[in-house]
Amino acid sequence: MAPLGGGLINDSFAVRLGEQRYVLQRINAQVFPDPARVIANQVALAAVWDTPGLDIPAPLPTRDGGFARHDDSGACWRLTRFIAPSRGLARLDRPAQARAVGEALGRFHRTLARHAPLPLQVALPGFHDTPAYLAGLRRLDTPAARHDPTLAECLDFVARRAPLAATLATARAEGRIGERVVHGDPKLDNLLFSTDASRVVALIDLDTVQPGLIHHDLGDCLRSCCNRAGERGASARFDLGLGAAILGGYAAATDGLLDAEERALIPQALRLVPFELGIRFLTDHLQGDRYFRVARHGDNLHKARVQFALVADLERQAEDIEALVGRCFAETTSVA
């Protein structure tokens, strides 16, 4: 057994039993208050999953017929099959890979929409509640925090863009968009590619699968895949070429799944998601790094600055992004 991956939440281990390989994970109960819901959602997905060429991890049953075991400390563990052959990518190198990402996410959404309604529970209450994240940060915006000029700069950046936080929440409250089943965390790290890196063969890390807004999935996927500098890079920039490829692949795979109102909100969602993530990183920094695992204090502050830099770049390219979304979805029609 050996540590696996660099996840920020759960502890993961690669396990080999003879010729078989598995992934053993301890679910972080501080993040997921009811691990049983997380596992139940994954079991429900596995029961209906029927998309050839695109895999998802399914919890394996225990000897007593359940799908989880608890150790003496009460921690919840699950076991899934290791998806192989596959590989992860640190970055996308060419548009064809980006299109494969968009197609995979689109097939994921399309498959689950076809099987709706699914008996899914809310695994992570408050997830993607941007107004609540903003309110939490405001409570930490004190004179003492502003003694640090970098913190003050970040807090001012957020304050100037506060109206952005309610964009999707307002649209949902007004009935202009509705909930669907979402992955919740479709960043590049949670996509597995074929060994030649030409196809996406699996979407992993299904802990955040629950009812939600597709816009958060699209925004998070684009955020993580189209910023070539990554979350630790010195300069964040949204690559329009990669964005066009992802959205083109997604539009082709979903084939009219999104209606006109949903499509119109994609550019705003693209700015909202890194804005929200930056708020969460900044909040965690101010609270002593209690949520995201870090190597040293200050990492979350740096990651917040990267996300805010990406927001600023998206603002600079706003007209191009509006046009890009229009082109990518021009040939799709609503089935809603």
Same domain? For 8 and 151 the reply is no
What type of residue is 271?
R
Q: Does the residue 336 lie in any domain?
A: no
Q: How many domains does the chain have?
A: 2
**What is the sign of the dihedral through the CA atoms of 245, 246, 250 and 256?**
negative
Same domain? For 204 and 321 the reply is yes
How buried is 4 (Cβ within 10 angstroms: 0-12 exposed, 13-18 middle, 19+ buried)? middle
* DSSP code of residue 89: -
Can you give the CATH number for the domain in which 213 is found? Answer: 3.90.1200.10
Of 57, 81, 105, which marks where a domain is finished?
81
Q: Does the residue 206 lie in any domain?
A: yes
pLDDT digits (tens, 9 = 90+) for 267-323: 999 999 999 999 999 999 999 999 888 999 999 999 999 999 999 999 999 999 999
Same domain? For 71 and 168 the reply is no
SS3 percent helix, strand, coil of the chain, rounded to 5, is 45, 15, 40
Query: What is the rounded CA–CA span in Å between residue 297 and residue 148?
Result: 14
Q: What is the pLDDT of residue 49?
A: 98
Q: Does the residue 270 lie in any domain?
A: yes
Same domain? For 77 and 100 the reply is no
User: Considering the entire predicted model, what is its pTM?
Assistant: 0.94
**What is the sign of the dihedral through the CA atoms of 193, 194, 195 and 197?**
negative
Q: List, for the chain, all residue ranges whose pLDDT scores fall below the cut of 50.
A: 333-336
Q: Does the residue 245 lie in any domain?
A: yes
Q: Does the residue 333 lie in any domain?
A: no
Domain that holds residue 62: 2-81
Query: What is the rounded CA–CA span in Å between residue 219 and residue 267?
Result: 9
Of 17, 46, 81, which marks where a domain is finished?
81
What is the number of other CB atoms lying within 10 angstroms of the CB of residue 295? 7
Q: What is the pLDDT of residue 234?
A: 67
Query: What is the rounded CA–CA span in Å between residue 62 and residue 223?
Result: 37
Q: Does the residue 87 lie in any domain?
A: no
Of 81, 111, 139, which marks where a domain is finished?
81
